[in-house]
Amino acid sequence: MTSQYGGNRTPTEEDLIDWLQLKRQTPSFLKHQLRPARDEWCEFYLTHGHTTKNCRTLKSQIEKLICEDHLSRFMHTQRNTKAKEHDPRLD
């Protein structure tokens, strides 16, 4: 993914969303369902059948991005915020 952005450019959140959308595939469990659950909606696939929270493909793509260190910029801020919130020295 880094070669696509060239040089030292860090991917933006929009770049990551675009990349994830390219990785969309029809999940195998949807292929085999006769009727997807109409009360469940997945924002990643833009379809009924399961929730975004339970989307296995989205989770695996995010895990892959984390392992490849593409999300460290986003995680760093969150870690610093959590560390400040849970600093035992402040108790």
The crossing angle, in degrees rounded to 10, of helices 56-67 and 13-22 is 130
CA distance 50 to 86: 34
Q: Which amino acid, residue 4?
A: Q
Predicted TM-score (pTM) above 0.75: no
In tens, the pLDDT along 42-63 reads 999 999 989 999 999 999 999 9
Question: What is the pLDDT at residue 87?
Answer: 60
In tens, the pLDDT along 25-42 reads 666 665 555 677 788 999
Question: What is the pLDDT at residue 27?
Answer: 63
Q: What is the CA radius of gyration of the chain?
A: 17
CA distance 37 to 29: 12
DSSP string, 26-57: --HHHHT-SS--TT-EETTTTEESS-STT-HH
How crowded is residue 47: how many other Cβ atoms within 10 Å of its Cβ?
14
In tens, the pLDDT along 65-81 reads 889 988 887 765 555 55
Question: What is the pLDDT at residue 84?
Answer: 59
Cβ-contact 70, 16 below 8 angstroms: yes
For the chain, the structural domain boundaries read: 2-23+33-73
